[in-house]
Structure 1
């Protein structure tokens, strides 16, 4: 098992709300979401939530190989919930949440789970590639972000539109007509995308937060086959560097409208030797 991991916060000195880790035969990546500080209703904050949930989940999927990833995620969410004290208002609609990507090897297959808009990239031995991404958030977001995308990123008008957009999104969180993401409720795990792939059909497995997939799905400066080649040759840090380069060339979002000029970007690349 050979794992390469790269991660950068959205800005220097800003807390990174992504979390990624690996253990023998397993890996997880989480991308925390919410409004930082007391506005989340939780005294711990977003980075604490994604990191704590990620650590619990990795421990559970390795310690309980017979339990499904859905079951492991639901129990891990419940464990994190139990750590919140009376000062945390988990009923608050902007309480911390996180995307989840988890993989585990067992009985000759790779088992996976994807919840939220982070991605799983599977490189196949025949030279092809497959990507598993939960697009429900994107689908809802496209219906809400029209005014925001018309404004220069970082402008006061854009900031106001972004706040309205985020407020509208929180109202659709973990609802059948909206999208699903890990938060206070363990039942969200039941709505994750899951599956298995024969292990001998793969050459690598890559977990990416949406801040790292921008090079493909938003900027369209590469395809997934190119990303696999780049990761094999130069590793996750080079992929993130290219994302930052593209972002720096379009700081106000005129070419590529987006909520944030830069986002936390994390890549965990697992080569199957």
Structure 2
């Protein structure tokens, strides 16, 4: 299978906290949840370490075993826990976490899993694209945010507001009625959105971290059809480049309020019948 992958940090001076990979019929994007300055985690490891560790172990489990995708994710979370439970406080509410979107060829179907706000987009020939994303985090954020309090990006007020929001989100993370992410609780895998679609008639598969889906779901500058067309014609790297141009046009977030001016962006793109 020929798979196109692009991943790029939002800030060249910082580590990329995304992990994107493909192997033996499995496609995967893990988007580490970046921690604002001042947030304690109880962990000596970085978010990028967590995303890479989880991604590598999850890819191996999904490729090498007959486990379902939720089972594979639960095992991968347990194995990452084992890597650092002796030196880190895994009960700390600020432990590193990540969103997960993955797909795997299973016979004549493609099965998928989405946990938190990364995006899976399936091009279904003449039908509307099937877009799968877990909006529970967004619903919690909408409850916490005051739309009238949106200080410009880069200001001390914005940084303080972001830290406060993340601290409040910890109360809802991996809790019933809140939202679910990959972190230290293997049972979060059972809360992922899952499904399968026939490979016949499937034109393309795109896995996007939320930093790469911004043109459509945050900026509103492209439909999902148009995003898929851009991937088909220009590839993942150009999609990220276009996203960076739009972000640069709104450096203080006045047009598109957001937590980060530029976010880590990752795309895995596959056309099954090419």
Question: Which range, TM-score by smaller chain?
Answer: over 0.9
**More divergent stretch after superposition (180-189 vs 84-93):** 84-93
Q: Distance in 2 between matches of 1:218 and 1:102?
A: 22
Say if 1:95 and 1:218 are closer, same or farther in 2 by CA, change over 3 A.
Answer: same
| Matched-pair contact (CA < 8 Å) for 1:148–1:158 | no
1:195 aligns with 195
Say if 1:249 and 1:36 are closer, same or farther in 2 by CA, change over 3 A.
Answer: closer
2:41 aligns with 40
Note the alpha carbon deviations across 1:150-172, whole angstroms, 9 max, x for none: 21111111111111111111111
**TM-score normalized with structure 1 length:** 0.96
2:2 aligns with 2
Gaps in structure 2 of 5+ consecutive residues: none
Q: Distance in 1 between matches of 2:55 and 2:8?
A: 17
Q: Distance in 1 between matches of 2:8 and 2:265?
A: 5
1:232 aligns with 232
2:142 aligns with 142
Q: Distance in 1 between matches of 2:248 and 2:34?
A: 24
Tell me, what secondary structure is at the counterpart of 1:266?
A: strand
Deviation at 1:270, TM superposition (A): 1.0
The CA RMSD measured in Å over matched residues stands at 1.5
Gaps in structure 1 of 5+ consecutive residues: none
1:253 aligns with 253
Note the alpha carbon deviations across 1:87-108, whole angstroms, 9 max, x for none: 2111111110010111111121
Q: Distance in 2 between matches of 1:260 and 1:47?
A: 17
1:165 aligns with 165
2:214 aligns with 214
2:56 aligns with 55
Tell me, what secondary structure is at the counterpart of 1:104?
A: strand
1:116 corresponds to 2:136: no
Give the aligned length. Answer: 272
**More divergent stretch after superposition (211-220 vs 78-87):** 78-87
More helix by share: 1
